[in-house]
Structure 1
Amino acid sequence: MSTLRLDDFVPYRLSYTSNLVSEAIARTYESLFGLTIPEWRLVAVIAEHDGITQAAICTRTGMDKVTVSRAAIALTARGLVARAPSPTDRRSHDLALTGEGRALYAQVAPKALELEKQIFGGLGAAELRGFVATLRRIDAIVRGGGN
């Protein structure tokens, strides 16, 4: 029988490293822009898909409904996001960035890319592409969509 060593257990290592990266990014977004990680994710997804529903954001980001709802409420209260009834689903609302939201995104996006470079810049381009491909493959396996 094998012995479980937590520090060598891949799910633990993945979670631990993910938490370290998220915490570093969260501190930066909070201090510079007053955004939580869920709020930043909403801003980024809405910037890519203006007029997106909260349900679609949940699907795209893997965040739960309550987290998305709270972030949407906070961003709407700050005037960064506008809500409009969805033309395709009467029970839902489409979210879009306001002018102020687009201006914030224009400031945050370059900082996000800078942080990514700081954290992952020590990896070569091929190594980073392979790492991302591996993460996507793990996503698919966990979702039941492939090996």
Structure 2
Amino acid sequence: MELYDFTGFQIHLTDVKMNNYFTKQLKPFEITPDQWGILSVLDGDKATTQKELAEAIDRDQTTVVRMIHSLEKKGIVQRFVHDTDKRSHNLFLTDKGIELKSKVLPVVIAAHHYATRYLSNEEIHNLKAILEKLYAAVNDE
């Protein structure tokens, strides 16, 4: 088999190109795609724990803590000690974070439409289903 025949390689190439494109779109907002993932999960009114956030964006907790610290320094995220579990923290978007999320969301949607412009809605649906199956196949590793 040739390198380009491997599904994993094709997914990797696509991921690199999409990540580069998305990074360029987010650059004016001074956030990374990973930081956008955090913003998209967090809310200003509803608490999310670091563990819940790590699970939602499929990152290890150590990495999430580093990203949260960076967003805290920018005044985008607030972290409070959990009421019942002092080892845990509740995370919220600050007013600045809520405003940033609302400004970035249309850019993210436009980037999604741009990246999928050659696909029909059915193809997008099928692609998501296939990627979920591939993810499930290697998720235990």
Fold similarity call, TM over 0.5:
yes
Aligned-pair identity in percent equals 26
- Runs of 4+ off more than 3 Å: 47-50
**Equivalent in 25, 41, 50 of residue 28 of structure 1:** 25
**Structure 1 residues 48 and 143: alpha-carbon distance in aligned structure 2, compared to 1, 3 A threshold:** farther
SS at match of 1:84: strand
Cα shift at 1:25: 0.2
Q: How many residues align?
A: 140
AA partner of residue 7 (structure 1): Y
Q: Which has the higher contact order (CA 8 A, sep 6+)?
A: 2
1:73 equivalent among 69, 76, 95: 69
Instruction: Report how far residue 130 of structure 1 moved.
Output: 0.7
Q: Which runs of 5+ in 2 are unaligned?
A: none
Structure 1 equivalent of residue 96 of structure 2: 100
In the superposition, the TM-score normalised over structure 1's length comes to: 0.87
Give the alignment's TM-score, normalised by structure 2. 0.91
**Aligned counterpart, 1:42:** 38
Residues 70-129 of structure 1, C-alpha deviations (whole Å, 9 max, x = no match): 210111111111111123432111110011100000000111000000010210011111
Coordinate RMSD, CA, aligned: 1.7
Q: Distance in 2 between matches of 1:61 and 1:133?
A: 18
Unaligned runs of 5+ in 1: none
Q: Write out per-residue CA displacement over residues 27-73 of structure 1, whole angstroms, 9 at most, x where no aligned residue.
A: 2212x100012211111111399311122111111122232112101
Matched, 1:122 2:118: yes
Does the 8 A contact of 1:38 with 1:68 survive in 2?
no
In the alignment, is the contact (CA less than 8 A) between 1:51 and 1:95 conserved in 2?
Answer: yes
Query: What does the per-residue CA deviation read over 1:14-35, in whole Å, with 9 as the maximum and x for residues that have no partner?
Result: 11111110111012212x1000
